[in-house]
Each structure stands twice: as structure tokens, then as C-alpha cells.
Amino acid sequence: MAKLTVKDVDLKGKKVLVRVDFNVPLKDGVITNDNRITAALPTIKYIIEQGGRAILFSHLGRVKEEADKAGKSLAPVAADLAAKLGQDVVFPGVTRGAELEAAINALEDGQVLLVENT
């Protein structure tokens, strides 16, 4: 069986889950090197140009305890990604539950959602 890529399927109106590597260095909540975000742009842009609904998952650092979560939010990444794409990025700030489900179900064709640090 041949491996399919994102370019082999009709994305219009589809929810497309993408595991991206947005584990970027942050200093005081500011991204100091955005190469990993930039590297993901062609795939994300392709999905939204084809009318897909991009749902992005990533991790940032190591979250071992609840206290670690505060400094490991993907919120700065969502803002940077929105600027690079020239459109809003939905960022519900959660990893699971009804709030995330509602945000995903509310996505329209061509929109991007970034799930909080997974």
C-alpha cells in the first residue's frame, strides 16, 4: 500500500490533524528562534488553501508537573503563526474537553486551530 501525503486527498471541508514540531526556544515568553514554525508553513498553507480545517498539535518543553504548564504555553506560538499566515489562529488554550471539542467543531474551511501544549 502506497503511503498517502496531504496532497493525495481532497481536503475541502475536512478536519486535518497535523502533528507539528513547534518546540521552539522561548525567553520571557518571546520566541527566540522560529525556524520550526517556518518549516511547517508550507504544509499548513496547503491545507488551508485547499479548504481544509487544520488542527495542529505540538509540545513545548517538558511538562512533568502541573506547575510546569504555566511557562510552557503555546500561546506565543499561536500569535507568531497567525502573523506568519496573515490570519487568525484559533487557540482555545486547552488540551481536551468540551471547550476544545466546541472550538474544533466551530472551525470553518481554511481556518487553523492550535491545541495547547500536548
* Superfamily grouping for domain 11-114: Phosphoglycerate kinase, N-terminal domain (3.40.50.1260)
Virtual CA dihedral for 91, 61, 43, 108, nearest 10 degrees? -10
The reported pTM is 0.90
Strands 30-31 and 26-27: antiparallel
Q: Can you give the pLDDT of all 118 residues of the chain as single tens digits?
A: 788 888 889 999 999 999 999 999 999 889 999 999 999 999 999 999 999 999 999 998 876 766 666 678 999 999 999 999 999 999 998 999 999 999 999 999 999 999 998 7
Domain ranges, ordered by start, for the chain:
11-114
